[in-house]
Structure 1
Amino acid sequence: MKKSKFIKAIVGILLSTTVLVGCGGNANEKETDKSGGEPKTIVIGTGNAFKPYCYLDDSGNLSGYEIEVLKEINKKLPQYKFEFNQLEFKNILLSLESNKVDVGAHQFEKNPERESKYLFGTESYTNFILRITVGKDRTDIKSIKDLEGKKVQTSAGSNDAYMLEQYNKEHNNAINLVYTSGLDAATTIKNIEDGRIDAFVSIKRIVDSYNQTYGEKLKTVGDPIATSNTYYVFRKEDTKLQGEFDKALKELKADGTLAKISIKILGGDYTTNE
């Protein structure tokens, strides 16, 4: 009898130990899953002086179309946590090269020079129809040829700078390019009014936004001088991240979210390819 009780006691202890070890194993698995499931930080290089795309609102918060779209992409990619690094436009792609940011987001258009260095997404998220922009009373400029001998403001490293530089290569530097970096709308308008520049290249919806904010100071003229789309930019080796962004953007297009953000912030649906 005593022996039987002793054996039962030993069996009971062994069973208890097995249960405890099993519970301990599950707890460790959960802890591992939890720590392994922490979202990876993805640093987004963007600007803060390009309204309505990326700018600081009245409370000093980063706002705009770029930011709202990226927030929706982040919802589609819960394995990541997006962190925004506010940079001058000219420094965004340089920061991508030097691994200071993981994604460039500032309405980047493709051109051969950029494509030789960086990986662009395959899904665009805004269309860009570039037009010459002048002061509202200007009548002598209607085409890119009319810019010859004139002072044209452009942002260093931008796609419109690339396009104007290509024109100059073919036309003996006929356009006097005035390079700037990170100028706000008020400064650009003042440069037009004071005669520091004769024109700049932009898209109509941005010019309309400037006029709504500062009064009817500007107008676009002539036919479009270029039509393109904008994309997120990655390092050449980051094909996985590129694919994940493309997939998220496709879903945002399909469910209408991207168009809604465009209509809300840009005043129309500018998300279709041109």
Structure 2
Amino acid sequence: MKKFWLTGFLILASVFIITGCSNNTNTEEADGKQVIKIALSDEVNPPFLYTDDQNNPIGYDIDYLKEIENKLPEYKFEYTFGEEESNLVGVDTGKFDFAINWFFKNPEREQKFLYPTREYGYSMTSLVTKTDRNDIKTLDDMVGKKFPPMSPSGGLRSILNGYNEKHPENPLTIEDIDHPSNADNLKRVDERKADAIFLNKSTFDAIQKELKLDLKISGIVSKEPIFIVFNKEHTVLAEKIDKATLELNEDGTLSKLAEKWFEVDFFKDIDYINEKSFNYEK
């Protein structure tokens, strides 16, 4: 009988231990602080995120997270690089507390993850064409024309899907591909195999520095809010970071970081950016 009760106790104890481990990824401590595990995308996107000569992460995202960490001294941030989709799976399963990689909101991700109410920055979406083309400046101009293939679940695709929902009589034609290469797609436009590519301005800037293709940004379509993506159970963490982000926005810190990394305060509207002669060629 004693053996039976001992066996039962051990089973119950193991259940509690397993349950506790599955619901809490950040139980370890460093210097008395709670460790927060953060997933960074290894497909870097300067100036949001890239690495220095010592392979340390730098950029707007990292400076923002350093400001957040300073405001929340009870936490210590630890970073891990990984493939974006694997990072999101890790956030969903609790391997990571959150991921950061200029994520847009879309219905599919909002079902799986916890989004804060406050964006931490903006991505400038643009149309990139051959330098000799002046007929494409807006999404309306792409009706009946060809885009390179796009991921069906990406944030940029969700913007185009939204356009098609508003324009069912004249939708954009979009070809699906699971793992598109931005470099290859830009080459398609350069070779006139596609009319234009819809891309984040910063992504184009980074690739163009390497490839030096005969391409230009023909028009800025929008500025899209970008967010951290949290595990759904981390409501307290998300609320604290949300509050800290608001404070950083109100005291001008985020505007200063935007000007540092992008040479423009993207928290202001597009009219302001155009008035300041935002240099699309950089």
- TM-score after normalising by structure 1: 0.72
The answer to whether structure 1 residue 134 and structure 2 residue 129 are counterparts is yes
Matches within 5 A, 1:194-273: 194-195=191-192, 197-204=194-201, 207=204, 215=212, 217-222=214-219, 224=221, 226-271=222-267
Deviation at 1:50, TM superposition (A): 0.9
- Unpaired runs of 5+ residues, structure 1, are 1-34
Deviation at 1:105, TM superposition (A): 0.7
Correspondence for 1:121 among 116, 131, 136: 116
Distance 1:154 1:52, change over 3 A: farther
The AA in structure 1 aligned to 2:235 is T
What CA RMSD, in Å, does the superposition of the two structures yield over aligned residues?
3.1
Counterpart residue number, 2:175: 177
CA distance in 1, matches of 2:185, 2:40: 20
Distance 1:179 1:55, change over 3 A: farther
Distance 1:232 1:223, change over 3 A: closer
Identity, % of aligned pairs? Answer: 32
The AA in structure 2 aligned to 1:41 is V
- Unpaired runs of 5+ residues, structure 2, are 1-28, 271-282
CA distance in 2, matches of 1:101, 1:160: 24
Counterpart residue number, 2:25: none
Counterpart residue number, 2:190: 193
Matches within 5 A, 1:7-156: 38-48=32-42, 49-147=44-142, 148-155=144-151
Structure showing greater radius of gyration is 1
Preserved contact between residue 145 and residue 195 of structure 2 (Cα < 8 Å)? no
Deviation at 1:70, TM superposition (A): 0.7
Q: Secondary structure at the match of 1:233?
A: strand
- TM-score after normalising by structure 2: 0.70
The AA in structure 2 aligned to 1:44 is I
Distance 1:157 1:250, change over 3 A: same
Correspondence for 1:158 among 150, 154, 163: 154
In the TM superposition, what whole-angstrom CA distance separates every residue of 1:91-119 from its partner, at most 9, and x where no partner exists?
33222112221112111122223222221
Regions of 4+ moved over 6 Å: none
More strand by share: 1
The AA in structure 1 aligned to 2:245 is L
Counterpart residue number, 1:20: none
Q: Secondary structure at the match of 2:148?
A: strand
**Total equivalences in the alignment:** 238
